[in-house]
Structure 1
Amino acid sequence: MGLADNPEMEDYSLRYTPAAFRKWSPWMVFLSCLVGISAMAGYALDAAFVDAFGFASALTGFLVAAAVTLPLTLVIAFAIARGHVDIDLLTRGSGFGYLGSTLTSLVYATYTLIFLAYEGVQAWTWPWIALIGLALGTAATAPDAGHNMVHPATVSPSGLAGMTVLAVFTIAAAQLSLATQVGEQGDYLRLMPDPEPGRRGRWRLAVITGGPGFALFAVGIFFASTLLVGYASTKIGADHVGVPVDLFTAVYERLTGNHTVALVLAGVLVLLSQIKINIMNTYSGSLSWSNFFSRLLHRHPGRAVWVFLQVGLSLVLMEIDIFSHIVEVLAWYSNVGVAWIAAMVSDLVINKKWLKLAPPQLVFNRAHLYNVNPVGGGSMIVAGAVSMVAYYGAFGAGAAALSPFIALGVAVVLPPIVAAATRGRWYVAREAVLPAADELPCSVCAGNYDRDDMASCPFHGGTICSLCRSTEAACRDTCKPSAWRPPKGSVPLGMPKFAPDKELEVA
């Protein structure tokens, strides 16, 4: 496996994250999750929304999107933090199957690519906060700050027309793409330690603010960016307001009275922001590409290899000028991203908890899963297809603006229907039989891993870790009676108990 031989260097990508590796406090994990709010993309996007639709429509659209994404991402964040798995492993066990989650890995990798291209360390958090604070304080104390914030000089005639339902849902639709941001947050949330007795409240707060809290931070960033853009719009033209360096230079020039000093401060702020957010996008993207290619190629040369692919593809997107189409790209992406996240939440909450149509445990190992599961994967494909048809105007302009919400509704309703129709037979391909020990040796790589990461392997005559199972191409799934569909007359497995996995709590 090359660079992947050291699981700690790989941050246990494609694996369950063991307790021995989760040594950071909830507070430190939360701080790591805050990297996402340093993105410069938000300032340019918010300016574009306000200019095109006006402040009232933009704000209402952001609030609608936050109201939708908060409950969705709350479920995902707690499932990741309690299950200690990344978004890909969670997807496998949430009704998508082993290969079914390959599609969602591609969706997620695309998300990180979009923002890595658009954006073009945790140790630098406090200098970044200081510089942002200076900029906000300067803009807030400028004459007519409130008026300029709500009525920037760069607003278009359509933005002056007042709030409309169509404008609100157009903005909300684009913002719903941020629901998949919980995947990036999850790359850190999986490192959460188990909650300590008497401190569960702090643990829950760290998970909430580090995961779904991103939706609230997005609203806060909207106010901050419109304040900055409102002031800058009185000093520079519309073409420059959306450029972060020009935006902050205009603000800092009021503070320093010197263009050169203001330019240096703006450059330092943008540099810090780009370092922080691009490290996050590159890191998360490399995890997704690892998941995607390990299943297609049965090879895992190491996460570091996919860093180069992630950066290379982002350079291509920058060269084709994704910036000029970012609002349309996000609106299109929202249809697919929301269908994925909503199908997962439906399975985790409705199927597993409420209706008991699915095993309550998180089963993510290839040895225990069918390659596909129509419950989650099928629901996502149908929801995404219906919403894309709506997006391209088949059902009228109103439905086009509401297309991500159509994806949301279909993806929530379909999983319990499919699970009931299939009687839950597609979730677990075989039950696990493992020796009684907290750690077990892998008969392929010779490493010792947590029991949750292991499966028995008749092909190798021992136990095997989840990563080696993913890269094994010769066995042809001999451990399962069938890899693609339940045998005729088979009964549902994994209900009500499927050892050794623990029951997954989702909230």
Structure 2
Amino acid sequence: MVVETPRTDSSQDAAVRETLEDYTLRFAPRSYRRWKPGVVATTALGGIAYLADFSIGAGIGLSYGTVNALVAILVAALIIFVTGVPLAYYGARYNIDLDLITRGSGFGYYGSVLTSVIFGSFTFIFFATEGAIMAQGLHAGLGVPLWLGYLITTLIVVPLVIYGMKALSKLQVWTTPLWLLLMVGPIGYLVVVDPDSVSRWLAFAGEEGGGLSAASVMLGAGVALSLMAQIGEQIDYLRFMPPRTEANKRTWWLSTLVAGPGWVVFGAVKQATGAFLAFFIMGAAGAAATEPVQQFMGIYELFMPVWLAIPLAVVLVVLSQVKINVTNAYSGSLTWTNSFTRVTKRYPGRIVFVLANLTVALILMEANMFAFLNSVLSFYANCAIAWVCTVAADILINKFALKLSPKEPEFRRGMLHAVNPVGVTAFLASAIISIAMYFGAFGEAIQPYSPIAAVIIAVVLTPVMAIVTRGRFYLRRTDDGIDEPRFDASGTPVATLYTCDYCAQEFERPDVLASAEPGKIVCSLCVTTDKTGKLVLPAS
């Protein structure tokens, strides 16, 4: 009997060989998910150590006043939390990242490349933002030139990001206690020794002057809503959650909610704190009051000598930026690799996109993007809102209420249509109209309301498009050619192992399907990189 050797091409071989990729293109198998829910949650929350929240809150507070800033932060946090719940649940429950969720939630196999570009842009914009803050800390504390600080902050994360989830989980867990002590301790001290500072801050009217204003609130909320895409980075960790069982369901749900949409609670507190610190030091720091390193140096110097205050502020800034920028670089490399491989059918390796993402971020830092941060974030917010709200609406309304979208997530090539007009139409309409509003195309009176318009358009148009198309463009096939279901009766992904006939590797049930070549099994990696299309099942 002649045994046929499994057939692979170079892209398939590369995808299989790279054992440190942390399942860049696919479902995270149960065999890899060895962490308890609490460890996954702690790792995910370590990624929100960033200090950009302090700058964002400071900018909003100084511009529009404390009351407007607090309401704006609250409005943005509420929207982010509500839309983040279904996304975090799907990531943790089905062990897939946000791009894979997006594919089967209204966008289609290639349609979600649009949103991958949005998310990829998020990662290098915020890497540049956080890197600039770290460079400011090195400059203020150690006299390091900014250009050199930008380079240092870029290169320092490379060794950590290469090793993926295993290294990142250790870094985030070990550094969190020190980070909390350095951040929370001084702020608590300030409130205790100068309680009147809080009342003075609450009365601050900002550069715009006046009281509570809907326009000011919306403008501030627009900046804060730019962080909506952060849920994608949280899901990059949450996809490694263990299966939900009767024994762990309380811990599982708590970890999912806290580390998923719950990140925005911590973010909102940091934004409000940033507004407070900027107000406290604005007399001495001037325009630099929005820089976190100046904020913390100003507080540290209240109760310790300068020679100690400056190094501690630098340690806090560097620690915070390393914790978040390893996440930015990691998540960015995942999304760019995913998109490139789908479009070209070629797998260049995640490390290529780690370096590409860092190069773009370095260019943005050297161009002093931090100086016009709020303008960049306000524009970007409309795109992020359109994407996240469209996917959230598809899950909550189309899947569970209208039942026009399949509840079980699908991401494999051949099972999905190339483009689903439901999500793509809602996303493009939401983004284009809200961006036009932001630039004043419909008049100055409604210009501040572009973020809310993005939310409303996405949430309304997503179910409307599903009804109009009757859900016909979600699945290209309903049967993947394998008898065993992908999910058990409780909805948990099945862990049965199947051997791919093309790369000879074992994959769990959600990650395989029948090949178009009779009698063979193909994994999602090999079908993704199949340039001929001969392995793709026909439509049914």
**TM-score (structure 1 length as normaliser):** 0.90
Deviation at 1:366, TM superposition (A): 0.8
**Higher RCO, 1 vs 2 (CA within 8 Å, ≥6 residues apart):** 2
Partner of 2:189: 138
Q: Shift of the alpha carbon at 1:435?
A: 5.3
**1:26-64: CA deviation from partner (whole Å, max 9, x where unpaired):** 101111111233111111121111111110000000111
- Cα distance, 1:96 vs structure 2: 0.5
Counterpart Cα distance in 2 of 1:269 and 1:313 = 25
Q: Which residue of 1 aligns with 2:500?
A: 442
**128-137 or 114-123, which deviates more:** 128-137
| Matched residue SS, 1:397 | coil
Report the Cα distance in structure 1 between the residues aligned to 2:317 and 2:14, rounded to whole angstroms: 33
Q: 2:394 aligned with 1:358, yes or no?
A: no
In 2, Cα distance between equivalents of 1:296 and 1:287: 14
**CA distance in 2: counterparts of 1:8 and 1:448, whole angstroms:** 13
CA contact (8 A) 1:367 1:480 kept: yes
Equivalent position of 1:191 in the other structure: 240
8 A contact 2:58–2:276 mirrored in 1: no
Partners of 1:274 and 1:449 lie apart in 2 by 36
Distance 1:477 1:385, change over 3 A: farther
- Call closer, same or farther: CA 1:131–1:399 in 2, change over 3 Å: same
**Amino acid paired to 1:264:** P
CA contact (8 A) 2:515 2:535 kept: no
Secondary structure at 2:32's aligned position in 1? coil
SS state at 2:47 partner:
helix
CA contact (8 A) 1:440 1:454 kept: yes
Q: Select which of 31, 35, 39 maps to 2:42.
A: 31
Displacement of 1:18: 0.9
Seen in structure 2, the aligned counterparts of structure 1 residues 133 and 156 have a Cα distance that, compared at 3 Å, is: closer
The yes-or-no answer on 1:248 pairing with 2:296 is yes
- Identify if the C-alpha distance between structure 1 residues 125 and 478 changes in structure 2 by more than 3 Å, giving closer, same or farther: closer
Displacement of 1:401: 1.2
* Structure 2 counterpart of 1:489: none
Letter in 2 for 1:250: G
Residue 307 of structure 1 corresponds to 354
Give how far 1:243 is off. Answer: 2.1
* Contact 2:56/2:274 (<8 A) preserved: no
The aligned counterpart of 1:215 is: 264
Provide the residue aligned with 1:488 in structure 2. Answer: none
CA distance in 2, matches of 1:460, 1:393: 58
1:117 to 128, 135, 138: 128
Aligned to 2:158: none
The Cα offsets for residues 425-462 of structure 1, whole Å up to 9 and x where unpaired, read as 21111221115491111222221101101121125862
- Quote the RMSD (CA, aligned, Å): 1.9
CA distance in 2, matches of 1:101, 1:410: 19
Equivalent residue number for residue 498 of structure 1: none
* CA deviation string 1:105-155 (max 9, x = no partner): 110011111110000131211111111122212322343321453356xx7
**Is contact 1:7-1:13 (8 Å) kept?**
no
Tell me whether 1:464 sits opposite 2:514 in the alignment: no
Inter-partner Cα distance in structure 2 for 1:476 and 1:174 = 47
| Separation in 1, partners of 2:328, 2:394 | 27
2:47 & 2:186 partners in 1: Cα distance?
A: 19
Shift of 1:277: 0.6
Distance 1:95 1:480 in 2: 21
Q: Distance in 2 between matches of 1:464 and 1:259?
A: 63
**1:344 and 2:391 correspond:** yes
Question: CA 1:97–1:181 in 2, change beyond 3 Å: closer, same or farther?
Answer: same
The answer to whether structure 1 residue 50 and structure 2 residue 61 are counterparts is yes
Letter in 2 for 1:33: A
Partner of 2:228: 179
Moved more, 428-437 or 107-116: 428-437
- Give identity over the alignment, percent: 36
In the alignment, what sits opposite 1:316? 363
Contact 2:385 2:454 in 1 (8 A): yes
Aligned length: 477
**Contact residue 106 and residue 420 of structure 2 kept, 8 A:** yes
Residue 12 (1) aligns with residue 23 (2): yes
Give the counterpart letter for 1:441 in structure 2: T
Q: Within 1, Cα distance between the matches of 2:16 and 2:250?
A: 37
Cα–Cα, structure 1 residues 201 and 241, in superposed 2: closer, same or farther, change >3 Å?
same
Secondary structure class of the residue paired with 1:367: coil
Letter of the 1:150 partner, please give it: L
For residues 324 and 377 of structure 1, the distance between their equivalents in structure 2, rounded to whole angstroms, comes to 33
Query: Is this contact kept in 1: 2:60–2:275, CA < 8 A?
Result: no
8 A contact 2:399–2:407 mirrored in 1 = yes
Select 1:325's aligned residue among 362, 372, 376: 372
Which structure 2 residue ranges, 5 or more long, are not aligned? 1-10, 132-170, 485-494
Deviation (angstroms), 1:476: 6.0
The correspondence of residues 33-182 of structure 1 with structure 2, limited to 5 A, is 33-120=44-131, 121-122=171-172, 123-143=174-194, 144-150=196-202, 156-158=206-208, 160-182=209-231
Q: Which residue of 2 aligns with 1:391?
A: 438
